[in-house]
Amino acid sequence: YSVRIPLIAGNWKMNKTVTEAVTFTKQVTDQLPDPSEVETAIAAPAILLQPMIDANSGGRLQVAAENCYYENEGAYTGETSPMALKDMGLHYVIIGHSERRRYFNETDDIINRKVHAVYNNAMVPILCCDETMGRRESGEHVHWVVSQVTAALKGISDDEAKKLVIAYEPSWAIGSGKSASFDQAEEGCYLIRQTVADLYSDEIANQVRVLYGGSVNPDNVKGLMAKDNIDGVLAGGASLKEETFLQLTQYK
Ligand code: PEP
């Protein structure tokens, strides 16, 4: 039996300037929970990361990246090196967010390479897997979720897999204000944990943290966190304001 430390993570997407990011970080840094009880992270665009790290005087916030490339260096104009993220001191990188899959054509193969690149640089991916309403209505969502997780983890070792964070994010709940029900969210997170158990072992599946994402807010966070297989949340909109992000971290 392992104790999974809850992880409350924000994903800012492309919504803040350096000035705003620094103000936010300074305001929350001393008010966050003890990371041995509840871990907190904000994923932000690469240009905001070093200023946020410098502003994180309390040291409790995990400053994280929203994406990276799968090569460490080379002629890849405009891309972000995972080696450079590690050098900044980062621990988490979001990989495979549904917006990356949809708008930037990230395939399962690209996402798998990125997962390897993050581990090869001694960081941990927050691997996102999505689900559409169409697939849910046709009953295809189970196969879809399983296949995304399986493809993303191809070639990933037991030692790497046990550190993993996976976020279950139904596309119809992202940015829509319409969260999945507590039971739907639990069902999705359970399915992901079972997939990890099938690919690796029950022991590893029990260590992996599974987050729910999709219109999480201060009103629904507690009900979500009460579920057995939900170890944390990934919040977009609600992570943009200091007050609501702090409320998420204080869900207890
Ligand atoms: C997200 O971007 O991962 C997300 C869940 O967004 P929101 O909380 O705004 O639905």
Our answer on whether the CB atom of 234 is closer than 6 Å to any ligand 1 atom is: yes
Q: Which contacts (CB < 8 Å, 24+ apart) does range 66-70 have?
A: 66/11, 66/12, 66/13, 66/93, 66/94, 66/97, 67/93, 67/94, 67/95, 67/97, 67/100, 67/114, 68/93, 68/95, 68/114, 68/117, 68/118, 69/114, 69/117, 70/110, 70/113, 70/114, 70/116, 70/117
- Token code pair at residue 69: 């490339």
Number of domains comprising the chain: 1
The reply to whether ligand 1 has any atom less than 6 angstroms from the CB of 218 is: no
pLDDT at 217 over 60: yes
39 in catalytic set:
no
Residue 58 lies in a domain: yes
Residue 126 lies in a domain: yes
Instruction: Look at residue 1 and tell me if it is in a domain.
Output: no
Residue 2 confidence class, pLDDT cut points 50, 70, 90 = low
- CATH classification at residue 110: 3.20.20.70
Name the residue with the closest Cα to ligand 1, atom 1.
Answer: 236
Report if residue 188 sits inside a domain: yes
Asked if 91 is an active-site residue, the reply is no
pLDDT in tens, 148-197: 999 999 999 999 999 999 999 998 888 888 888 999 999 999 999 999 99
Query: Any residues with CB less than 8 A from the CB of 29 and at least 6 apart, and which?
Result: 55, 56, 57, 58, 59, 60, 61
Name the catalytic one among 99, 131, 160, 169. 169
Q: Which of 97, 99, 106, 131 is catalytic?
A: 97
Q: Which residue has the higher pLDDT, 1 or 9?
A: 9
Q: Is 2 contained in some domain? A: no
189 located within any domain = yes
236 lines ligand 1 (CB under 6 A): yes
| Residues 153, 199 contacting (CB under 8 angstroms) | yes
Reported as a pLDDT band with limits 50, 70 and 90, residue 1 is: very low
With a 6 Å cutoff on the Cβ, whether 51 touches ligand 1 is no
Tell whether residue 175 is among the known ligand binding residues. yes
Structural element, H or E, at residue 235: strand 232-235
Domain range enclosing 43: 7-249
Residue 217 lies in a domain: yes
Residue 201 falls within a domain, yes or no?
Answer: yes
pTM: 0.96
